[in-house]
Amino acid sequence: MSATTIDTATGPGKLEPSAGRQGTFPDAKRLEYAMTSFLQDLGATAALYLEACVHCGQCAEACHYYVQTGDPKYTPIWKIEPLKKAYKRHVGPFSFFYRLLGLKKAVTLAELESWQELIYDSCTMCGRCALVCPMGIDIPSLVLAARHGMQAAGLVPRDLWEPTDRANREGSPLGATKEVLKERIAWVSDEHSVEIPLDRDRADVLVTVSSVEIMKYPTSLAAIAKVMRHVGASWTFRSDGYEATNFGLLAGDRKGQRDATMRLINAAIAVNAKVVILPECGHAYQALRWVGANVYGKALPFRVLHISEFLAQEIRAGRLTLKTDPRSMTFHDPCQVARRGGVSGAPREIFRALGADLREMSRTPGLNWCCGGGGGVITVHHADPLRYRVFHLKMQQVEETGADVLVSSCSNCRLTFDDGQAHFHWDKTAQSLLEIVANNLAETH
């Protein structure tokens, strides 16, 4: 059980702390809002998890933050200690005795503030901890509940709150407004000689996009357009529902999360879409595929597919045919798509169709290490030195496969890989699975 320690904390990480408070309401109110939010999330499922923990500490052994630092504060179940304390004191079956005998003190604002780095900076909600827990506790769902409380109290790290707030105001966290989308589409369409439909009234397929793709990897817009042209789909982007990233989910902002989800749902309904395709973005898949119907309040009137699921479906149907790309490749399963989303078979079908020499990172698809950038962590710059330490673990895992090409299907993972590559002067660049497919379309039309 020794923890690996490496000296990687000397990079260009910005060490000055970000201000981690929003709003101007008094401290007592902050605490009250946090507690109200905690109690809202402490239903039977959370209660069962909090009651079931036997303090075995095994979750630490699955967490990249603990494994890389050996610091016990990164033990996953410890990251939600304030939530657990609130539960024991106010909700649990013996809460009366805890209060009467003073066995559990009330959570304080100072505690919440000191837990901010554990709830936000050092948890990507990647879910490896949930797969080692002998009691089967889904710790990421508890971290999410803790984030809800922190957001209600105005205690989100500034670097994460800013894009969340921007998304609430502009519809996109990274400035990918409707106008920017239109400009990008016009440019990419011209550059790659491919039609990219926008704002059609009717389409079978609504394609959505991540603002990371719009701003950093616009080639992916051409890639999806080429694939859709190849398979002959009736599809469109919609300027009233294109942004699939959901910073509300990451920050713990319930309203922001709901608004972002409803924009997509309403756009899909407006075009009478049968299918909504989510981009190469992990948490976008979580937000719409698994939480969307719960936000909507009923079953969604369309199917929701991650782009890799769509590609695999089209390959199976014989509409998508590919040229062979026999290079040795390894695939980084995005946590929220594979481990927590259930999509691990589809990418492998695509690699088979490409004739690629796939070299797995873990025995069970989806159990690979997280890149360290998920859960909004990549936005929190004062946590960069820590993020590089956990990225080192990912880098080692990739190298151990001996594959020539590193592929993923999450633009946020890709961003994290690009950043880590620059930091460590690594020779591997993460490729997009969608773009590899788009570059290998067989000439059948």
Partner 1 sequence: MNGASLLDFARGPAFEAALAIMTFGIAWRLAGIFALARSVDRSEPRSRFSGLRGLRIILSRSWPRAEFRERVLEWDIVGYLFHIGYAVAFLGYAPHILLIRNLFGLRWPGLPGGIIAFAAGVSAASLLALLGHRLSSPVLRQLSNFDDYFTWLVTFAPLVTGLMAYYGIGADFQLMLGLHIFSADILFVWLPFGKLMHVILLVFSRGTTGAAYGRRGAPV
Q: How far is the CB of 337 from partner 1 (least distance, A)?
A: 10
- What tokens appear for 225 in the block? 């357009």
* Residue ranges in contact with partner 1 by CB under 8 A: 1, 42-45, 47-49, 51-52, 54-58, 60-62, 66-67, 72-73, 75, 77-78, 91-94, 130-138, 289-294, 296-300, 303-304, 338-344, 362-367
Closest distance to partner 1 from the beta carbon of 387 (Å)? 21
- DSSP-H helix ranges across 12-157: 27-41, 44-52, 58-62, 64-69, 81-90, 95-100, 109-116, 128-132, 139-152
Shortest distance, CB of residue 130 to partner 1, whole angstroms?
A: 7
Cα separation, 64 vs 59, in Å, equals 10
CA-closest candidate to residue 288, choices 312, 265, 311: 265
Closest CB to partner 1 among residues 115, 161: 115
Pick 98 or 424: Cβ nearer partner 1: 98
Tell me the closest approach of the beta carbon of residue 199 to partner 1, in angstroms. Answer: 27
Q: In whole angstroms, give the CA distance from residue 246 to residue 252.
A: 10
Which residue, 67 or 176, has its beta carbon nearer to partner 1?
67
Structure-derived torsion over alpha carbons of residues 80, 81, 83, 84, reported in degrees to the nearest 10 = 120
Structural contact between residues 333 and 344, judged by C-beta atoms closer than 8 angstroms: yes
Least separation in angstroms between CB 36 and partner 1? 15
**Cβ–Cβ under 8 Å, residues 60 and 79:** no
Nearer to partner 1, 227 or 370 (CB): 370
**Which CB atom, from 230 or from 289, has the smaller least distance to partner 1?**
289
What's the min distance (Å) between Cβ of 306 and partner 1?
A: 12
Please tell me the distance from the alpha carbon of residue 414 to that of residue 67, in angstroms, as a whole number. 23
DSSP state of 303: E
**By C-beta, is 43 or 102 nearer to partner 1?**
43
CB of residue 75 vs partner 1: minimum separation in angstroms?
5
* Interatomic CA distance for residues 222 and 24, integer angstroms: 44
Specify the residue, 217 or 302, whose C-beta has the smaller distance to partner 1. Answer: 302
Q: Is 189 helix (H, G, I), strand (E, B) or coil?
A: helix
